[in-house]
Amino acid sequence: MSVRPTRGEGEQNSDPRIERSRRVIQEATVDELASVGYGGLRIESIARRAGVGKATIYRHWSGKQDLVESTLAMIKEDMVAPGEGTVRERVTSILTWLASYLTDSRASSVMPALVSAAQFDKSVAEFHFRFTSERRHAMIDLLSEGVQTGELRSDLDAELAAEMLAGVLFYRRLMTDRPFPSEEVGNLVATVLGSAD
């Protein structure tokens, strides 16, 4: 992915400046992605925001695509946290996290930027669809588990339910100027899964 990791993947470089440069550059890339999107990305803007020379960027990555790919991979790493509890609780927790991510965060535009870029850039699309698919199937599996254990109604269509839940959050973020408030995720879950007895 990166062009010149002077040493191998996991090994630590002797010079801390290298890792630091990579970190601040990728952070700046996230910020730029969020503020101008993939199409508006300018290497010079990233360098300026990172307080770094353009040359330093090209020392570590072969170009824009390389940098973005490695940054997206980093974002994916940061994305975590299933949790404990009943199916209903875990579903609510995942969606609450997603709602906050699409609302509050400094990075609330990162995911929209990814969605946008995927529409017209093949390599971004590949990443985006694979990434989304993983999270989607995690949710579907979770809902299926709930159906099998009897926690959720037996006639629930897990796949459709997963798409409705995430769909509403993304719809609100992408199609309106009122992103879905994370406080209302409970209502949403109750509506889609049915109220608890």
CA distance 110 to 139: 21
Q: Binding to DNA by residue 59, rule CB under 7 A?
A: yes
Q: CB 94 → DNA: shortest distance, Å?
A: 35
CA distance 80 to 150: 27
Q: CB 20 → its own copies: shortest distance, Å?
A: 29
CA distance 111 to 101: 9
CA distance 57 to 35: 19
Q: Binding to its own copies by residue 56, rule CB under 8 A?
A: no
- Out of its own copies, DNA, none, what residue 18 binds, judged by CB under 5 to 8 A for its kind, is DNA
CA distance 138 to 75: 18
- CB under 8 A: which stretch of 1-9, 60-68, 91-99, 129-137 binds its own copies? 129-137
Q: Please state, as a whole number, how many other Cβ atoms lie within 10 Å of the Cβ of residue 121.
A: 16
Q: Binding to its own copies by residue 158, rule CB under 8 A?
A: no
Contacts of 8 (CB under 8 A, 6+ apart): none
Q: Binding to its own copies by residue 14, rule CB under 8 A?
A: no
- CB under 7 A: which stretch of 57-65, 79-87, 102-110, 137-145 binds DNA? 57-65
SS3 sequence, 30-78?
A: HHHHHHHCCCCCCHHHHHHHHCCCHHHHHHHCCCHHHHHHHHHHHHHHH
- CB under 7 A: which stretch of 9-17, 95-103, 131-139, 141-149 binds DNA? 9-17
- Out of DNA, its own copies, none, what residue 8 binds, judged by CB under 5 to 8 A for its kind, is none
Q: How many residues bind DNA (CB under 7 A)?
A: 23
Interacting residues toward its own copies by CB under 8 A? 35-40, 109, 112-113, 115-120, 125, 128-129, 132-133, 136, 157, 160, 163-164, 166-172, 174-177, 187-188, 191-192
